[in-house]
């Protein structure tokens, strides 16, 4: 299978150097409206699909993003490997603003979002014990090393609902759990990517120390934006390097991203809801067509 790289990120990644023949295209999804059109083009011969998570102009709050439509649209464009570029707060002293954290675990504390493509009429259970694809992280890490970036491989991302930032009590609680960074967008994104059998990886860009750090005060949106703007060029170069390095033939994922649905659907074939099955054509077509 040919590799197709998907990127979900912010406004700073719209104009990636070397992104050729790029056009904004509307992709219809039975799950509703994606955050925006998809920017589809090529980098060094590799198909790359970019989706602005919050929409151009940052019009969607983290809770209002249609995560199902976003992942479905990317799947319809053939995305096999998906990188989420996300701003986050640091819960560790050593992860200073400007550091890139390649997380490998999540704790989902969101409460107001649709978290699965499956449900009544077609029940499925997938494992997200290892939500991040290690082969994809290998490529990202090699690009970080080559660029001389301050990064850390591994760590737990606490996904909070938002849109407000943490109270000090919450921030200290998450630190006591051993979490490394905190953000508002990677769940249920990572869960849905696994249901869609897409390899997923997060590049978490630290912008602040959340609200726990006595020397840094409360979260300051102006300070966050300053760090984000300073990191735009770095993030663009990192994505460009990943695109150039990614194997052109998609490799089987050692943690089962490619086969997550193989035995996951439990509803008997004669009991499945035809309307739901029609919506699952892109996400679960590989396994549904077998039965």
- Give the Å distances, CA to CA, from 262 to 33, 78, 212, 265: 28, 19, 43, 8
- Find the catalytic residue in 108, 208, 233, 270: 208
- Find the catalytic residue in 36, 72, 81, 210: 210
Helix or strand or coil: residue 186? coil
Is 184 annotated to bind a ligand? Reply is: yes
Is 11 annotated to bind a ligand? Reply is: yes
Is 14 annotated to bind a ligand? Reply is: no
Is 289 annotated to bind a ligand? Reply is: no
Helix or strand or coil: residue 181? strand
Helix or strand or coil: residue 202? strand
Paired strand residues for 130: none
Is 210 annotated to bind a ligand? Reply is: yes
Paired strand residues for 23: 40
Tokens of 76: 């319809």
Is 95 annotated to bind a ligand? Reply is: no
233 a catalytic residue: no
Is 63 annotated to bind a ligand? Reply is: no
208 a catalytic residue: yes
Is 80 annotated to bind a ligand? Reply is: no
Is 193 annotated to bind a ligand? Reply is: no
The closest of 124, 272, 104, 284 to 203, measured between CA atoms, is: 104
Q: What is the rounded CA–CA span in Å between residue 234 and residue 56? A: 20
Dihedral, CA of residue 84, residue 88, residue 91 and residue 96, to nearest 10: 100
Measured distance between the N- and C-terminal CA atoms of the chain, rounded to whole angstroms: 22
Is 87 annotated to bind a ligand? Reply is: yes
Residue ranges for the known binding site for phosphate are 11, 53-54, 86-87, 185
Residue ranges for the known binding site for substrate are 184, 208-210
Residue ranges for the known binding site are 11, 53-54, 86-87, 184-185, 208-210
Residue numbers annotated as active site: 208, 210
């Amino acid at each position: 299978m040919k590799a197709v790289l998907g990127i979900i990120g912010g406004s700073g990644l719209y104009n990636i150097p070397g992104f050729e023949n790029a056009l904004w295209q509307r992709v219809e999804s039975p799950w509703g409206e994606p955050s925006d059109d998809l920017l589809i083009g090529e980098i060094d011969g590799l198909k790359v699909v970019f989706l602005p998570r919050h929409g151009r102009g940052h019009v969607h709050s983290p809770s209002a993003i249609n995560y199902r439509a976003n992942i479905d649209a990317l799947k319809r464009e053939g995305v096999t490997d998906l990188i989420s570029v996300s701003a986050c707060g640091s819960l560790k002293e050593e992860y200073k603003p400007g550091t890139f954290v390649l997380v490998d675990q999540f704790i989902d504390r969101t409460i107001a979002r649709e978290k699965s493509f499956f449900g009544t009429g077609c029940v499925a259970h997938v494992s997200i014990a290892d939500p991040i694809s290690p082969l994809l992280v290998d490529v990202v890490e090699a690009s970080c090393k080559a660029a001389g970036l301050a990064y850390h491989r591994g760590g737990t991302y606490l996904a909070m609902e938002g849109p407000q930032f943490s109270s000090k009590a919450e921030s200290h609680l998450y630190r006591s759990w051993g979490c490394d960074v905190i953000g508002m967008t990677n769940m249920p994104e990572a869960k849905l990517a696994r249901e869609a059998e897409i390899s997923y990886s997060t590049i978490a860009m630290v912008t602040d120390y959340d609200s726990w750090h006595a020397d840094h005060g409360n979260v300051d949106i102006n300070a966050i934006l300053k760090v984000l703007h300073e990191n735009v060029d770095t993030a663009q170069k990192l994505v460009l390097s990943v695109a150039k390095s990614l194997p052109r033939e998609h490799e089987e994922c050692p943690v089962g991203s490619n086969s997550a649905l193989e035995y996951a659907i439990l509803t008997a074939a004669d009991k499945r809801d035809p309307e739901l099955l029609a919506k699952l054509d892109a996400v679960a077509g590989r396994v549904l067509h077998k039965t």
